[in-house]
Structure 1
Amino acid sequence: MISKSTLGVCAGVAGAIFLGYCIYFDQKRRNDPNFKRKLRERRKKANKESKENQVPWPNMKDPDEVQKFFLYNIQNGEELLAQGDFETAIDHLSRAVAVCGQPQQLLQVLQQTLPPQVFQMLIHKLPSVGETIMREIGGIKVTEEDVE
């Protein structure tokens, strides 16, 4: 049998070795001449991707602009569904539901027309789109009642 003190010493030695490896690889990483350049490139790429993913939300006080946004997203969502690009289609359809005046009726229609797994993806996406639209324009929010 191994005593508690032996077990404690082994755990301490293992922790010290792990800490030593962490320090060694951190120093190696920091001393790499390309580290800062790679870090800047990674940050620039992430910033560019986040800007590309931003949606130009409509002015919610302008019904024509909201209607154009709604129709655009519904049409693109249907086209992308036909092409099999479900992720992007769900993005467009969730935006359309978010600006829709009667989201319950639209969700009922979508539930009848979409495959069940795609409709479930849409339901899971709606809360995050509601939060995004609240942050971006401070207008409406998709609630749990709207989803059900």
Structure 2
Amino acid sequence: MSTLVKTHFAGPSYLNGFFGKELFNEYNTPAFSGSVPAVNVIENQEGFRIEVAAPGLQKGDFKLNLEKNQLTISAQKEVKEEESNEKYTRREFKYNSFQRTFTLPNTVDGDKIEATYNEGVLSIALPKREEAKEKPARLIEIA
């Protein structure tokens, strides 16, 4: 006689690894000069979305790199300040930068990741693989 065990792939034990720490575990401590932008991670049926609040930056300031299942989000912006008066000229060059690396779950389809930047928010869409998407319940007929 065999026993049927009910398993939930999205049950608490599976989610503890995700939500117990952070949904997408950061690989390193953020490396930055200045402040680190706030990050939101949102999940829906189709996948995940990472939102990075980065006002003052432009689309070209960002670099996204995916290597294996490590997504690195980085940005660097050069800020030039110049002050002149009759006796001297002062110039300062500052570089504001940050880098965050996230370990993505295996359910993400890395070939379909897309990013947009709009009104100070970098939004990265991380779609789930088809086989990882939750399927609706179906009735199995008995032959």
Shared fold per TM-score greater than 0.5? no
* Bigger fraction of residues in helix: 1
Pairwise TM-score range, normalised by the shorter structure: under 0.3
TM-score by length of 2: 0.24
Q: Which has the higher contact order (CA 8 A, sep 6+)?
A: 2
- Larger relative strand fraction: 2
Instruction: Return the index of the structure with the highest Cα Rg.
Output: 1
